[in-house]
A and B are shown apart, each in its own frame.
Chain A
Amino acid sequence: MRRVVITGAGTINALGHTVPETFEAFREGRCGIGELSIRDVERLSIRIGGQVLDYDPEVHFNRQQIALYDRFTQFTLMAARQAIAQSGLNFDGTLGYESGVVLGTAAGGTTTWDENYRAVYEEGKNRVHPFVVPKLMNSAAASHVSMEWNLRGPAFTVSTACASSNHAMGQAFQMVRSGMCKAMITGGSEAMLCFGGIKAWEGLRVMSRDACRPFSANRNGMVQGEGAGVFVFEDYDHARARGAEMLAEVIGFAMSSDASDIVMPSQQGAERAITGALRDARLNPEDVGYINAHGTGTAANDKTESAAVAHAFGHHADRLMISSTKSMHGHLIGGTGAVELLACIMALKDGVIAPTIGYEEPDPECALDVVPNVAREAKVEVCLSNAFAFGGLNAVIALRRAA
């Protein structure tokens, strides 16, 4: 088995348009959630979200590209540009044949669906733009990344609701670890902060109207975010031979299915993914210093996740740190695991643990060190990143500090 390292990272989300901006917000415990400014917001009962602000597609893409790129694809390409530039890799030669792209998204081109349904249903038009289908398909972003950087190996999109990015990164990890690929572009993206995308979530009655307060006794639901996180996963020997900077090592991955309920989470399913990742990475529970929680801020997730962590780690659960950065950037649905992996990289590389902000009251059912409200300096060797999706699809990644 090959070792796998991360040699590039990129993002755009409510906290910033780059990784350094996002790290700065994590360190400051800044909240990127605010009043939504979208069309027909007055017809929504949920009016807050972690929106990407000060973003003008025309600054980053030409007219032809914008005609083909849904917002989720634009976010992906912006994050991929940063990640690939940081890695210093060039895929124009044979490396392009030995590399690929696996991305996660839950809903793909939601804005494109929304705008074109409006055109035909609300405005009664009988014609839509010719690129609606290539723009909205869930795999569009993966295809555009592969075209832009000449990635000619495996390329596809994984869709497992809120675990999509973690499942995608798990696939990329396994492809590099097995020797199947030299490098993989991976992560995920979501852009469903449009009228239809929020209206759909409203229906489920799990959204907060004021804030995302994970693990806090007075939490009252999740808040949607948007954006992308993209990484370069590279074969360790390949990265070392070219003297690349290693941001972290990917050391394990596990997935499990609850096989029980389409919305309610299961402690046992989550726990199996956590312990599976530890086993895959050959870790003992006490090796883990920090967990980036799924931590949605719903009543059900946070108590189930806390119980799963407590049971999986035993006594060590009281010594490790666990935080939910969704309190700052919102829940990026299929893109969330990718942006959250950044908090793990920051912990390993910079020794700073991103906080759970909005934490107001301890909940006896979530009695873990959730790094409340203020970032913390701590030397961490190993991190986990949890993702537990609707439908009981769980995926957990383990990272180690680059040696």
Chain B
Amino acid sequence: MTVSVQDRIIAIIAEQAVLDPEQVLPSSSLEDLGIDSLGLVESIFAIEEAFDITVPFNANDPVQSEFDISSVAAIVRAVETLIADQKG
């Protein structure tokens, strides 16, 4: 069975937040999980490495970046779109 995009992202975020994967919910925001700006940049790097994609993200203005980081579910959707766009 292949691991879903969501499970892999949750594993990355859980590791960054030093939490168990069960504690990371799709509705959680990174802020809820205690991930700061450095943790966010590191998570995005881990996502790029895991899925072999390039994530458009500028730390100067995360809100304006094309990559939605408002919740774990939003990140999963954004990564799925990037995988389809970049590897399709």
Interface residues of A (CB under 8 A from B): 45, 203-206, 208, 219-221, 262-264, 298-300
B57 touches which of A205, A262, A264, A298 (Cβ 8 Å): A205
Top 5 closest pairs, chain A to chain B, by CB: A299-B60, A205-B59, A221-B60, A220-B60, A206-B59
Q: Hey, what's the 0/1 contact readout for B47-70 against A, CB within 8 Å counting as 1? A: 000000010011111000000000
Secondary structure dominating the interface of B: loop
Interface size class of B (residues with CB under 8 A): 10 to 19
* Distance to closest chain A CB from B44 (angstroms): 7
| Distance of A170 from chain B, by nearest CB (Å) | 29
Among residues of A, the one whose C-beta sits closest to the C-beta of B45 is: A203
A-binding residues in B (CB < 8 A)? 37-38, 41, 44-45, 54, 57-61
Q: Give chain A's interface secondary structure class.
A: loop
Inter-chain contact A264/B37, CB cutoff 8 Å? yes
Chain B residues within an 8 Å CB radius of A298: 60
User: What is the CA–CA distance of A45 and B44 in the complex, to the nearest angstrom?
Assistant: 15
Contact A206–B45 (Cβ < 8 Å):
no
Q: Please name the residue on chain B nearest to A296 by beta carbon.
A: B60
Task: Determine whether the beta carbon of B44 is less than 8 Å from that of A205.
Answer: yes
Shortest CB-to-CB span from A387 to chain B, Å, is: 20
When chains A and B are docked, how far (Å) is the Cα of A203 from the Cα of B61? 15
Listed A/B pairs (14) with beta-carbon separation below 8 Å: A203-B41, A204-B59, A205-B41, A205-B44, A206-B59, A208-B58, A219-B60, A220-B61, A221-B58, A221-B59, A221-B60, A262-B38, A298-B60, A299-B59
A263: chain B residues within 8 A (beta carbon) = 37-38
In the complex, residue of chain A having the shortest beta-carbon distance to the beta carbon of B38: A263
- Chain B residue at minimal CB-CB distance from A299: B60
Interface core residue of B37, B41, B54, B58 (most chain A CB under 10 Å)? B58
